[in-house]
Structure 1
Amino acid sequence: MIQEQHGTFCPVYRAIGVLQEKWVLHIVRSLLGGPKGFNELSRAIGGCNSATLTQRLEGLEHLGIISKATDQEAQGKLARSIYTLTPAGQELQQVIDAIGNWAGAHLSEEVIKTPCAG
Protein backbone atom coordinates (compact mmCIF):
# COMPACT_ATOMS: atom_id res chain seq x y z
CA MET A 1 0.00 0.00 0.00
CA ILE A 2 1.30 3.48 -0.85
CA GLN A 3 0.70 4.80 2.66
CA GLU A 4 2.86 2.06 4.17
CA GLN A 5 5.63 2.54 1.62
CA HIS A 6 5.74 6.32 1.76
CA GLY A 7 5.27 7.79 5.23
CA THR A 8 5.09 11.28 3.73
CA PHE A 9 1.64 10.46 2.31
CA CYS A 10 0.22 9.98 5.81
CA PRO A 11 -0.93 13.62 6.24
CA VAL A 12 -2.69 13.43 2.87
CA TYR A 13 -4.60 10.32 3.91
CA ARG A 14 -5.50 11.88 7.24
CA ALA A 15 -6.82 15.01 5.51
CA ILE A 16 -8.82 12.88 3.08
CA GLY A 17 -10.23 10.99 6.06
CA VAL A 18 -11.54 14.25 7.51
CA LEU A 19 -12.80 15.79 4.27
CA GLN A 20 -14.47 12.68 2.87
CA GLU A 21 -17.03 12.48 5.66
CA LYS A 22 -20.45 13.13 4.22
CA TRP A 23 -21.50 16.80 4.44
CA VAL A 24 -18.10 18.14 5.55
CA LEU A 25 -17.20 19.83 2.26
CA HIS A 26 -20.78 21.07 1.88
CA ILE A 27 -20.52 22.71 5.30
CA VAL A 28 -17.15 24.27 4.48
CA ARG A 29 -18.37 25.52 1.09
CA SER A 30 -21.39 27.10 2.70
CA LEU A 31 -19.32 28.82 5.39
CA LEU A 32 -16.93 30.19 2.76
CA GLY A 33 -19.81 32.58 2.03
CA GLY A 34 -19.68 33.91 5.59
CA PRO A 35 -20.85 33.04 9.10
CA LYS A 36 -24.15 31.19 9.45
CA GLY A 37 -26.48 30.03 12.18
CA PHE A 38 -27.44 26.36 12.48
CA ASN A 39 -30.78 26.68 10.65
CA GLU A 40 -29.31 28.84 7.90
CA LEU A 41 -26.50 26.32 7.44
CA SER A 42 -28.97 23.44 7.40
CA ARG A 43 -31.01 25.13 4.65
CA ALA A 44 -27.89 26.05 2.68
CA ILE A 45 -26.56 22.50 2.47
CA GLY A 46 -29.95 20.76 2.30
CA GLY A 47 -30.66 17.10 2.97
CA CYS A 48 -28.59 16.69 6.13
CA ASN A 49 -30.56 15.81 9.27
CA SER A 50 -30.03 17.86 12.43
CA ALA A 51 -28.24 15.11 14.37
CA THR A 52 -25.72 14.53 11.58
CA LEU A 53 -25.17 18.25 11.05
CA THR A 54 -24.56 18.71 14.77
CA GLN A 55 -22.04 15.84 14.73
CA ARG A 56 -20.18 17.25 11.73
CA LEU A 57 -20.10 20.76 13.20
CA GLU A 58 -18.75 19.44 16.51
CA GLY A 59 -16.09 17.44 14.67
CA LEU A 60 -15.03 20.41 12.53
CA GLU A 61 -14.89 22.61 15.61
CA HIS A 62 -12.75 20.03 17.43
CA LEU A 63 -10.35 19.98 14.46
CA GLY A 64 -10.09 23.79 14.44
CA ILE A 65 -11.71 24.14 11.01
CA ILE A 66 -14.72 26.09 12.28
CA SER A 67 -15.48 28.12 15.37
CA LYS A 68 -18.78 28.45 17.17
CA ALA A 69 -19.92 31.62 18.91
CA THR A 70 -23.14 32.65 20.59
CA ASP A 71 -25.10 35.44 18.94
CA GLN A 72 -24.90 38.30 21.42
CA GLU A 73 -27.82 40.14 19.80
CA ALA A 74 -30.42 37.55 20.77
CA GLN A 75 -31.94 39.80 23.46
CA GLY A 76 -35.05 38.23 24.94
CA LYS A 77 -34.80 35.26 22.58
CA LEU A 78 -33.05 31.95 22.77
CA ALA A 79 -29.38 32.50 21.99
CA ARG A 80 -28.31 31.00 18.69
CA SER A 81 -24.97 29.63 17.66
CA ILE A 82 -23.07 31.19 14.79
CA TYR A 83 -20.53 29.11 12.87
CA THR A 84 -17.51 30.64 11.14
CA LEU A 85 -14.50 29.21 9.36
CA THR A 86 -11.20 29.60 11.17
CA PRO A 87 -8.11 30.59 9.15
CA ALA A 88 -7.41 26.85 8.71
CA GLY A 89 -10.94 26.37 7.40
CA GLN A 90 -10.60 29.33 5.04
CA GLU A 91 -7.49 27.71 3.55
CA LEU A 92 -9.74 24.91 2.30
CA GLN A 93 -10.98 27.39 -0.34
CA GLN A 94 -7.79 26.58 -2.28
CA VAL A 95 -8.47 22.84 -1.98
CA ILE A 96 -12.07 23.22 -3.15
CA ASP A 97 -10.96 25.44 -6.05
CA ALA A 98 -8.30 22.87 -7.03
CA ILE A 99 -10.87 20.06 -7.00
CA GLY A 100 -13.22 22.19 -9.13
CA ASN A 101 -10.44 22.97 -11.61
CA TRP A 102 -9.47 19.31 -11.81
CA ALA A 103 -13.11 18.30 -12.36
CA GLY A 104 -13.49 20.88 -15.11
CA ALA A 105 -10.40 19.59 -16.88
CA HIS A 106 -10.90 15.84 -16.45
CA LEU A 107 -14.54 14.92 -15.92
CA SER A 108 -17.05 14.62 -18.71
CA GLU A 109 -19.55 17.40 -19.28
CA GLU A 110 -22.35 14.99 -18.31
CA VAL A 111 -20.77 14.28 -14.92
CA ILE A 112 -20.05 17.96 -14.24
CA LYS A 113 -23.64 19.00 -14.99
CA THR A 114 -25.13 16.38 -12.64
CA PRO A 115 -26.87 18.28 -9.82
CA CYS A 116 -25.26 18.02 -6.41
CA ALA A 117 -26.22 19.09 -2.90
CA GLY A 118 -24.85 22.33 -1.50
Structure 2
Amino acid sequence: MTSQEGTVACSGIQKETSNCIYINQMLGQITDKWTLLVIRALRGGPLRFNVLRRELGTVSQKVLTGTLRSLEETGFVSRTVTPVAPVRVDYALTDFGREFLEPVETLSTWVVSNIARIEDARSRYAASQEQ
Protein backbone atom coordinates (compact mmCIF):
# COMPACT_ATOMS: atom_id res chain seq x y z
CA MET A 1 0.00 0.00 0.00
CA THR A 2 1.40 3.41 -0.89
CA SER A 3 1.10 6.31 1.53
CA GLN A 4 -1.45 7.85 -0.83
CA GLU A 5 -3.57 4.68 -0.80
CA GLY A 6 -3.36 4.61 3.00
CA THR A 7 -4.61 8.18 3.13
CA VAL A 8 -7.61 7.35 0.95
CA ALA A 9 -8.37 4.17 2.88
CA CYS A 10 -8.20 6.10 6.15
CA SER A 11 -9.92 9.32 5.13
CA GLY A 12 -12.76 10.65 7.21
CA ILE A 13 -13.07 11.62 10.83
CA GLN A 14 -10.06 13.07 12.66
CA LYS A 15 -9.83 10.03 14.96
CA GLU A 16 -9.60 7.76 11.92
CA THR A 17 -6.79 9.94 10.57
CA SER A 18 -4.99 9.64 13.90
CA ASN A 19 -5.40 5.85 13.76
CA CYS A 20 -4.06 5.84 10.21
CA ILE A 21 -0.82 7.40 11.39
CA TYR A 22 -0.25 4.38 13.64
CA ILE A 23 -1.35 1.98 10.92
CA ASN A 24 1.08 3.53 8.43
CA GLN A 25 3.91 3.51 10.99
CA MET A 26 3.38 -0.18 11.76
CA LEU A 27 3.08 -1.12 8.09
CA GLY A 28 6.29 0.78 7.43
CA GLN A 29 8.09 -1.06 10.22
CA ILE A 30 6.93 -4.54 9.30
CA THR A 31 7.58 -4.15 5.59
CA ASP A 32 11.29 -3.48 5.87
CA LYS A 33 13.55 -6.24 4.62
CA TRP A 34 14.32 -7.94 7.95
CA THR A 35 11.46 -7.40 10.44
CA LEU A 36 9.19 -10.26 9.36
CA LEU A 37 12.17 -12.58 8.95
CA VAL A 38 13.30 -11.84 12.52
CA ILE A 39 9.78 -12.34 13.90
CA ARG A 40 9.42 -15.63 12.06
CA ALA A 41 12.86 -16.81 13.20
CA LEU A 42 11.97 -16.11 16.84
CA ARG A 43 8.63 -17.92 16.72
CA GLY A 44 10.38 -21.16 17.71
CA GLY A 45 11.73 -19.67 20.92
CA PRO A 46 14.48 -17.41 22.24
CA LEU A 47 17.70 -17.07 20.25
CA ARG A 48 21.05 -15.50 20.95
CA PHE A 49 22.15 -12.71 18.63
CA ASN A 50 24.70 -14.71 16.64
CA VAL A 51 22.39 -17.72 16.31
CA LEU A 52 19.65 -15.42 15.01
CA ARG A 53 22.10 -13.79 12.62
CA ARG A 54 23.14 -17.20 11.24
CA GLU A 55 19.47 -18.17 10.84
CA LEU A 56 18.85 -15.07 8.74
CA GLY A 57 21.90 -15.41 6.53
CA THR A 58 23.20 -12.20 5.01
CA VAL A 59 22.03 -9.59 7.53
CA SER A 60 24.76 -7.31 8.88
CA GLN A 61 25.33 -6.91 12.61
CA LYS A 62 24.35 -3.23 12.41
CA VAL A 63 21.07 -3.91 10.57
CA LEU A 64 20.09 -6.80 12.83
CA THR A 65 20.83 -4.71 15.93
CA GLY A 66 18.64 -1.89 14.58
CA THR A 67 15.83 -4.28 13.68
CA LEU A 68 15.89 -5.92 17.12
CA ARG A 69 15.89 -2.52 18.86
CA SER A 70 12.93 -1.40 16.79
CA LEU A 71 11.03 -4.60 17.59
CA GLU A 72 11.89 -4.23 21.27
CA GLU A 73 10.66 -0.62 21.21
CA THR A 74 7.37 -1.76 19.64
CA GLY A 75 6.98 -4.45 22.28
CA PHE A 76 7.25 -7.43 19.91
CA VAL A 77 10.63 -8.67 21.16
CA SER A 78 12.21 -8.92 24.60
CA ARG A 79 15.93 -8.75 25.28
CA THR A 80 17.21 -10.74 28.25
CA VAL A 81 20.77 -10.24 29.50
CA THR A 82 22.26 -13.04 31.61
CA PRO A 83 25.37 -11.85 33.50
CA VAL A 84 27.74 -14.73 32.85
CA ALA A 85 31.16 -14.71 31.23
CA PRO A 86 30.76 -13.95 28.40
CA VAL A 87 27.51 -12.04 28.80
CA ARG A 88 24.57 -13.92 27.31
CA VAL A 89 21.84 -11.96 25.50
CA ASP A 90 18.69 -13.73 24.33
CA TYR A 91 15.96 -12.33 22.12
CA ALA A 92 12.43 -13.71 22.22
CA LEU A 93 8.98 -12.83 21.02
CA THR A 94 6.78 -11.29 23.68
CA ASP A 95 3.13 -12.28 24.04
CA PHE A 96 2.37 -9.20 21.93
CA GLY A 97 4.84 -10.39 19.27
CA ARG A 98 3.31 -13.88 19.22
CA GLU A 99 -0.14 -12.31 18.91
CA PHE A 100 1.16 -10.36 15.92
CA LEU A 101 2.13 -13.63 14.20
CA GLU A 102 -1.54 -14.46 13.55
CA PRO A 103 -2.29 -11.61 11.11
CA VAL A 104 1.19 -11.99 9.60
CA GLU A 105 0.56 -15.68 8.91
CA THR A 106 -2.88 -14.84 7.47
CA LEU A 107 -1.37 -12.24 5.14
CA SER A 108 1.47 -14.60 4.20
CA THR A 109 -1.00 -17.35 3.33
CA TRP A 110 -3.03 -14.92 1.22
CA VAL A 111 0.07 -13.75 -0.68
CA VAL A 112 1.32 -17.28 -1.36
CA SER A 113 -2.11 -18.43 -2.55
CA ASN A 114 -2.29 -15.46 -4.93
CA ILE A 115 1.23 -15.48 -6.37
CA ALA A 116 -0.02 -16.48 -9.83
CA ARG A 117 -2.62 -13.68 -9.84
CA ILE A 118 -0.07 -11.12 -8.66
CA GLU A 119 2.45 -12.18 -11.32
CA ASP A 120 -0.26 -12.16 -13.99
CA ALA A 121 -1.32 -8.64 -13.03
CA ARG A 122 2.29 -7.45 -13.08
CA SER A 123 2.86 -9.02 -16.51
CA ARG A 124 -0.29 -7.40 -17.92
CA TYR A 125 0.75 -4.05 -16.48
CA ALA A 126 4.29 -4.33 -17.89
CA ALA A 127 2.88 -5.25 -21.31
CA SER A 128 0.52 -2.26 -21.23
CA GLN A 129 3.44 0.07 -20.45
CA GLU A 130 5.43 -1.17 -23.46
CA GLN A 131 2.74 -0.11 -25.92
Q: What is the percent sequence identity of the aligned residues?
A: 28
* CA displacement 1:13-50 (0-9 Å, x = unmatched): 22201101220111000001110000010011111000
SS in 2 for 1:91: helix
Letter of the structure 1 residue corresponding to residue 24 of structure 2: Y
Aligned residue in 2 for 1:92: 100
- In structure 2, distance between residues paired with 1:102 and 1:69: 34
User: Do structure 1's residue 83 and structure 2's residue 91 form an aligned pair?
Assistant: yes
- Alignment pair present for 1:24 and 2:35: yes
Give the superposition deviation at 1:91.
1.2
Q: What are the Cα deviations for residues 64-98 of structure 1, in whole angstroms up to 9, with x where unaligned?
A: 110100135x4xx2112100111111112112211
- Structure 1 residues not aligned, in runs of 5+: 112-118
May I ask how many residue pairs the two structures share in their alignment?
107
Q: With structure 1 as the length reference, what TM-score do the two structures score? A: 0.79
1:65 and 2:76 matched = yes
What are the residue-to-residue correspondences of 1:23-42 with 2, within 5 Å? 23-42=34-53
- Larger helix fraction of residues: 2
Higher CA-based Rg: 2
**Counterparts of 2:71 and 2:114 in 1: how far apart (Å)?**
30
Answering whether residue 57 of structure 2 is matched by residue 46 of structure 1, we say: yes
TM-score calculated relative to the size of structure 2: 0.72
Provide the secondary structure at the position in 2 that maps to 1:93: helix
Gaps of 5+ in 2: 120-131
